[in-house]
Amino acid sequence: MADVTGHLPRGPRRILRAARWSCQGLAAAWRHESSFRLEVCLLVVLAPLALWLGQDGVERALLLGSMLAVLAAELLNSAIEAVIERYGPEYHELAGRAKDMGSAAVFVLMMNVLACWGLVLGPRLL
H and E: helices and strands count for the chain: 4, 0
Alpha carbons 86 and 118: distance in angstroms, whole number? 40
Non-local (6+) Cβ contacts of 33 within 8 A are 74, 78
Contact predicate 70/109, CB 8 Å: yes
Active-site entry in 39, 74, 81, 93: 74
Q: 74 catalytic, yes or no? A: yes
List Cα–Cα distances, 53 to 3, 12, 57, 67, 122, in angstroms.
Answer: 43, 37, 11, 15, 11
Query: Known catalytic residues?
Result: 74
